[in-house]
Amino acid sequence: MKKHPSIIKKGAANNRFLQSTFGVIILIASLTSGNLYAQKMQASSVDSTKTQGTTDQKVMIQTTYPKVVGYLSFIVPIVTLTKDATTYNFNGTTSIGFPVGINVLYSDKFGFSYEFTPTIKSTASTSKMSNLLFDPGTMFRFQHGFTIITRLAFETSGRYGFTPVFNKVYARSKYVNYFVAGSLPVRFGNAEVPSLGLNVQFGFTFN
């Protein structure tokens, strides 16, 4: 059965829009982190004779807990595995999620995260919001901006499960911290076989 040319063009436009959005977000994140690195290098090049006297005068600012921070991000599914099939993103369909949430930090070692993720899926014929995920979880915070998050997962598609997340802050500024994360969503339910996925997430938290 032949597809109408207008449907093909519409689907191609939907895919191009999502891929263009994905590319623009990555470009902005790259440029911002590059600027932060340049500012850091410029600051570190100041004459040490001028900074030596002020080093001992710096007062360490301690964070008051609990502390609540919000964040915005986008997430890209890479691959989903089941016992019957292996499904890749950008292979006939394009899916991008947009996680938003708040982190309640109780100490420099522990916190709790509340996250909602709407997902947009584009095919050759249409694009739509295909799923909404609620995945709260505990945060185990370590040095150098590394955090492990153990999330539960509840989807409007009927699937449920859990998602371990490995998060790393790669750039900091006065107002926001930029992070990258890898996650391994495990899903069950809705009369489907269990699945294991691999996702990559980029975003920033508000300080």
Domain that holds residue 5: 1-207
What is the total count of domains within the chain?
1
Quickly state the pLDDT bin for 30 (edges 50, 70, 90).
low
Q: Percent of the chain, pLDDT > 90?
A: 68
Instruction: Say which residues have a Cβ less than 8 Å from residue 151's Cβ, sequence separation at least 6.
Output: 113, 115, 135, 136, 137, 162, 163, 164, 165, 183
- Whether the per-residue pLDDT at 61 is higher than 80: the answer is no
Quickly state the pLDDT bin for 62 (edges 50, 70, 90).
confident
Q: What is the mean pLDDT of residues 64-89?
A: 97
Which pLDDT tens digit goes with each residue over 109-144? 999 999 999 999 999 889 999 999 999 999 999 999
Residue written as tokens 């409007």? 156
- Whether the per-residue pLDDT at 53 is higher than 50: the answer is no
Give the β-pairing of 110-122 and 146-155. Answer: unpaired
The CATH number of whichever domain residue 132 belongs to comes to: 2.40.160.20
> Which amino acid appears at position 187 of this protein?
R
- Rounded to whole angstroms, how far apart are CA atoms 141 and 60? 20
Q: How many CB atoms lie within 10 A of CB 147?
A: 19
What's the confidence (pLDDT) of residue 55?
A: 44
Task: Report pTM.
Answer: 0.73
What's the confidence (pLDDT) of residue 63?
A: 84
- Rounded to whole angstroms, how far apart are CA atoms 82 and 65? 42
